[in-house]
Amino acid sequence: MDGTPAQDRNEQNVELTAGGVRLQGNLVVPEGARGVVLFAHGSGSSRHSPRNQYVARALQDAGLGTLLIDLLSAEEERVDLRTRHLRFDIELLAGRLVNALDWLAQHPWTRHLAAGIFGASTGGGAALVAAAERPGCVRAVVSRGGRPDLAGPALPRVQAPTLLIVGGNDLPVIGMNREAMARLRVETRLEIVPGASHLFEEPGTLEEVARLASDWFLRHLGTGGASGTV
Protein backbone atom coordinates (compact mmCIF):
# COMPACT_ATOMS: atom_id res chain seq x y z
CA MET A 1 0.00 0.00 0.00
CA ASP A 2 1.30 3.46 -0.82
CA GLY A 3 -0.30 5.33 2.09
CA THR A 4 -2.01 8.00 -0.02
CA PRO A 5 -2.51 11.03 2.29
CA ALA A 6 -6.12 11.96 3.01
CA GLN A 7 -5.64 15.42 1.52
CA ASP A 8 -4.74 13.81 -1.82
CA ARG A 9 -8.11 12.10 -2.09
CA ASN A 10 -11.20 13.55 -3.73
CA GLU A 11 -14.31 12.63 -1.74
CA GLN A 12 -17.94 13.26 -2.56
CA ASN A 13 -21.34 12.20 -1.23
CA VAL A 14 -23.34 11.20 -4.29
CA GLU A 15 -26.88 10.30 -5.28
CA LEU A 16 -27.68 7.84 -8.05
CA THR A 17 -31.01 7.11 -9.69
CA ALA A 18 -31.60 3.42 -10.31
CA GLY A 19 -34.85 1.66 -11.07
CA GLY A 20 -36.78 4.85 -10.35
CA VAL A 21 -35.37 5.23 -6.82
CA ARG A 22 -32.60 7.42 -5.42
CA LEU A 23 -29.61 5.70 -3.87
CA GLN A 24 -27.08 7.37 -1.58
CA GLY A 25 -23.36 6.75 -1.89
CA ASN A 26 -19.86 7.88 -1.05
CA LEU A 27 -17.19 8.23 -3.73
CA VAL A 28 -13.49 8.51 -2.88
CA VAL A 29 -10.84 8.80 -5.61
CA PRO A 30 -7.15 9.23 -4.72
CA GLU A 31 -5.01 11.39 -6.98
CA GLY A 32 -3.51 9.19 -9.71
CA ALA A 33 -5.96 6.38 -8.98
CA ARG A 34 -5.22 3.09 -10.73
CA GLY A 35 -8.85 1.99 -10.89
CA VAL A 36 -12.15 2.25 -9.08
CA VAL A 37 -13.99 -0.41 -7.07
CA LEU A 38 -17.76 -0.51 -6.63
CA PHE A 39 -18.92 -2.14 -3.38
CA ALA A 40 -21.93 -4.47 -3.27
CA HIS A 41 -22.94 -4.91 0.37
CA GLY A 42 -24.55 -8.04 1.74
CA SER A 43 -27.96 -8.92 3.10
CA GLY A 44 -29.34 -6.51 5.67
CA SER A 45 -26.36 -4.16 5.29
CA SER A 46 -25.66 -0.76 3.70
CA ARG A 47 -22.85 1.52 2.60
CA HIS A 48 -22.12 2.03 6.30
CA SER A 49 -20.99 -1.59 6.76
CA PRO A 50 -17.87 -1.32 8.97
CA ARG A 51 -16.26 -4.29 7.22
CA ASN A 52 -16.74 -2.84 3.74
CA GLN A 53 -15.59 0.57 4.95
CA TYR A 54 -12.44 -1.00 6.35
CA VAL A 55 -11.67 -2.71 3.04
CA ALA A 56 -12.49 0.49 1.14
CA ARG A 57 -9.95 2.45 3.18
CA ALA A 58 -7.34 -0.20 2.45
CA LEU A 59 -8.05 0.02 -1.27
CA GLN A 60 -7.81 3.82 -1.12
CA ASP A 61 -4.44 3.50 0.62
CA ALA A 62 -3.37 1.25 -2.25
CA GLY A 63 -4.29 3.95 -4.77
CA LEU A 64 -7.73 2.75 -5.84
CA GLY A 65 -10.96 4.71 -5.93
CA THR A 66 -14.04 3.34 -4.16
CA LEU A 67 -17.79 3.81 -4.45
CA LEU A 68 -19.93 2.55 -1.56
CA ILE A 69 -23.65 2.83 -2.24
CA ASP A 70 -26.88 1.72 -0.64
CA LEU A 71 -28.42 -0.81 -2.99
CA LEU A 72 -31.87 -0.17 -1.49
CA SER A 73 -33.64 3.14 -0.94
CA ALA A 74 -34.56 4.20 2.59
CA GLU A 75 -38.17 3.11 2.01
CA GLU A 76 -37.09 -0.25 0.57
CA GLU A 77 -34.82 -0.82 3.57
CA ARG A 78 -37.76 -0.28 5.91
CA VAL A 79 -39.81 -2.83 3.98
CA ASP A 80 -36.92 -5.29 3.88
CA LEU A 81 -36.49 -5.12 7.65
CA ARG A 82 -39.96 -6.65 7.90
CA THR A 83 -39.99 -9.01 4.92
CA ARG A 84 -36.27 -9.78 4.36
CA HIS A 85 -36.98 -10.50 0.69
CA LEU A 86 -35.27 -7.65 -1.16
CA ARG A 87 -31.82 -8.52 0.21
CA PHE A 88 -32.05 -11.82 -1.69
CA ASP A 89 -33.44 -10.31 -4.90
CA ILE A 90 -30.24 -10.77 -6.88
CA GLU A 91 -31.75 -9.49 -10.13
CA LEU A 92 -32.81 -6.25 -8.41
CA LEU A 93 -29.46 -5.76 -6.67
CA ALA A 94 -27.48 -6.54 -9.82
CA GLY A 95 -29.56 -4.04 -11.76
CA ARG A 96 -28.68 -1.36 -9.23
CA LEU A 97 -24.99 -2.25 -9.59
CA VAL A 98 -25.24 -1.98 -13.38
CA ASN A 99 -26.71 1.51 -12.96
CA ALA A 100 -23.83 2.41 -10.65
CA LEU A 101 -21.28 1.09 -13.15
CA ASP A 102 -22.84 3.20 -15.90
CA TRP A 103 -22.72 6.20 -13.54
CA LEU A 104 -19.01 5.61 -12.86
CA ALA A 105 -18.38 5.39 -16.61
CA GLN A 106 -19.72 8.95 -16.97
CA HIS A 107 -18.46 10.66 -13.81
CA PRO A 108 -15.49 12.96 -14.52
CA TRP A 109 -13.46 11.49 -11.65
CA THR A 110 -13.85 7.88 -12.76
CA ARG A 111 -14.80 7.68 -16.44
CA HIS A 112 -11.16 7.02 -17.41
CA LEU A 113 -10.64 4.31 -14.76
CA ALA A 114 -11.02 0.54 -15.08
CA ALA A 115 -13.70 -0.74 -12.73
CA GLY A 116 -13.93 -3.67 -10.35
CA ILE A 117 -16.62 -4.88 -7.95
CA PHE A 118 -16.20 -6.02 -4.35
CA GLY A 119 -19.19 -8.05 -3.20
CA ALA A 120 -20.01 -9.36 0.28
CA SER A 121 -22.52 -12.09 1.20
CA THR A 122 -25.48 -11.86 -1.22
CA GLY A 123 -23.66 -8.91 -2.82
CA GLY A 124 -21.14 -11.43 -4.16
CA GLY A 125 -23.83 -13.01 -6.31
CA ALA A 126 -25.14 -9.63 -7.45
CA ALA A 127 -21.59 -8.52 -8.31
CA LEU A 128 -21.10 -11.47 -10.65
CA VAL A 129 -24.43 -10.91 -12.39
CA ALA A 130 -23.51 -7.24 -12.91
CA ALA A 131 -20.09 -8.27 -14.23
CA ALA A 132 -21.78 -10.57 -16.73
CA GLU A 133 -24.07 -7.72 -17.83
CA ARG A 134 -21.18 -5.26 -18.30
CA PRO A 135 -18.27 -7.41 -19.55
CA GLY A 136 -16.56 -4.47 -21.22
CA CYS A 137 -16.64 -2.42 -18.04
CA VAL A 138 -15.87 -4.76 -15.12
CA ARG A 139 -12.25 -5.86 -15.11
CA ALA A 140 -12.14 -7.75 -11.79
CA VAL A 141 -14.44 -9.12 -9.08
CA VAL A 142 -13.71 -9.96 -5.45
CA SER A 143 -16.26 -11.76 -3.26
CA ARG A 144 -15.91 -11.79 0.57
CA GLY A 145 -17.91 -14.49 2.32
CA GLY A 146 -20.08 -14.29 -0.75
CA ARG A 147 -22.86 -16.28 -2.33
CA PRO A 148 -21.61 -16.52 -5.93
CA ASP A 149 -23.94 -19.49 -6.39
CA LEU A 150 -26.83 -17.00 -6.39
CA ALA A 151 -25.54 -15.65 -9.73
CA GLY A 152 -26.90 -18.88 -11.26
CA PRO A 153 -26.95 -18.90 -15.09
CA ALA A 154 -24.87 -15.71 -15.25
CA LEU A 155 -21.75 -17.48 -13.95
CA PRO A 156 -20.53 -18.89 -17.31
CA ARG A 157 -20.95 -15.42 -18.86
CA VAL A 158 -18.65 -13.63 -16.40
CA GLN A 159 -15.50 -12.38 -18.16
CA ALA A 160 -13.83 -10.61 -15.23
CA PRO A 161 -11.12 -12.45 -13.25
CA THR A 162 -12.74 -13.43 -9.96
CA LEU A 163 -11.30 -13.89 -6.47
CA LEU A 164 -13.46 -15.75 -3.94
CA ILE A 165 -12.51 -15.20 -0.27
CA VAL A 166 -14.15 -17.39 2.35
CA GLY A 167 -13.55 -17.92 6.06
CA GLY A 168 -12.09 -21.29 7.01
CA ASN A 169 -14.85 -21.81 9.58
CA ASP A 170 -17.64 -20.88 7.16
CA LEU A 171 -18.06 -24.44 5.91
CA PRO A 172 -21.42 -24.20 4.08
CA VAL A 173 -20.28 -21.10 2.18
CA ILE A 174 -16.99 -22.79 1.23
CA GLY A 175 -19.02 -25.48 -0.52
CA MET A 176 -21.21 -22.92 -2.27
CA ASN A 177 -18.13 -21.08 -3.53
CA ARG A 178 -16.51 -24.26 -4.82
CA GLU A 179 -19.68 -25.13 -6.74
CA ALA A 180 -19.82 -21.65 -8.27
CA MET A 181 -16.11 -21.74 -9.09
CA ALA A 182 -16.67 -24.86 -11.19
CA ARG A 183 -19.13 -22.92 -13.35
CA LEU A 184 -16.94 -19.86 -13.91
CA ARG A 185 -14.96 -19.87 -17.16
CA VAL A 186 -12.49 -17.11 -16.32
CA GLU A 187 -9.39 -16.86 -14.15
CA THR A 188 -10.72 -17.72 -10.71
CA ARG A 189 -9.08 -18.23 -7.33
CA LEU A 190 -10.52 -19.42 -4.03
CA GLU A 191 -8.75 -18.11 -0.91
CA ILE A 192 -9.77 -19.66 2.41
CA VAL A 193 -8.74 -17.54 5.39
CA PRO A 194 -7.89 -19.87 8.31
CA GLY A 195 -9.85 -19.36 11.53
CA ALA A 196 -12.28 -16.86 9.99
CA SER A 197 -16.05 -17.02 10.39
CA HIS A 198 -18.60 -15.66 7.91
CA LEU A 199 -18.16 -12.03 9.04
CA PHE A 200 -14.35 -12.15 9.42
CA GLU A 201 -14.57 -10.78 12.95
CA GLU A 202 -11.56 -12.69 14.26
CA PRO A 203 -8.29 -10.76 14.80
CA GLY A 204 -6.31 -10.28 11.61
CA THR A 205 -8.84 -11.93 9.30
CA LEU A 206 -10.35 -8.78 7.81
CA GLU A 207 -6.83 -7.40 7.31
CA GLU A 208 -6.09 -10.50 5.24
CA VAL A 209 -9.25 -9.90 3.17
CA ALA A 210 -8.12 -6.33 2.51
CA ARG A 211 -4.63 -7.47 1.48
CA LEU A 212 -5.94 -10.14 -0.88
CA ALA A 213 -8.50 -7.77 -2.43
CA SER A 214 -5.96 -4.97 -2.91
CA ASP A 215 -3.50 -7.31 -4.62
CA TRP A 216 -6.20 -8.70 -6.93
CA PHE A 217 -7.56 -5.33 -7.99
CA LEU A 218 -4.14 -3.78 -8.49
CA ARG A 219 -3.13 -6.74 -10.64
CA HIS A 220 -6.21 -6.63 -12.88
CA LEU A 221 -7.23 -2.97 -13.01
CA GLY A 222 -3.82 -1.77 -14.18
CA THR A 223 -2.80 1.87 -14.28
CA GLY A 224 -5.60 4.36 -14.43
CA GLY A 225 -3.93 7.73 -14.83
CA ALA A 226 -4.60 10.93 -12.91
CA SER A 227 -7.98 11.38 -11.29
CA GLY A 228 -10.18 14.40 -11.74
CA THR A 229 -10.73 17.16 -9.23
CA VAL A 230 -13.78 18.54 -7.50
3-state secondary structure of 219: helix
Residue 193 lies in a domain: yes
Percent of the chain with pLDDT over 90: 71
The predicted structure's pLDDT at residue 224: 42
The predicted structure's pLDDT at residue 85: 61
Average pLDDT, integer, range 34-49: 78
Number of domains in the chain: 1
Average pLDDT, integer, range 43-57: 77
Q: 81-95, 106-120, 157-171, 203-217: lowest mean pLDDT where?
A: 81-95
In angstroms, the Cα distances linking 93 to 52, 60, 112, 145 are 17, 24, 25, 17
Residue 185 lies in a domain: yes
Residue 227 lies in a domain: no
pLDDT at 54 over 70: yes
Residue 1 lies in a domain: no
Residue of higher predicted confidence among 27 and 89: 27
Residue 111 lies in a domain: yes
pLDDT at 4 over 70: no
Q: 44-48, 75-79, 93-97, 178-182: lowest mean pLDDT where?
A: 44-48
Residue 30 lies in a domain: yes
Residue 39 lies in a domain: yes
For residue 124, with 0-12 CB atoms within 10 Å meaning exposed, 13-18 middle and 19 or more buried, which class applies? buried
Residue 64 lies in a domain: yes
Domain CATH for 48:
3.40.50.1820
The predicted structure's pLDDT at residue 49: 76
Print the domain residue range for 208: 6-220
The predicted structure's pLDDT at residue 21: 85
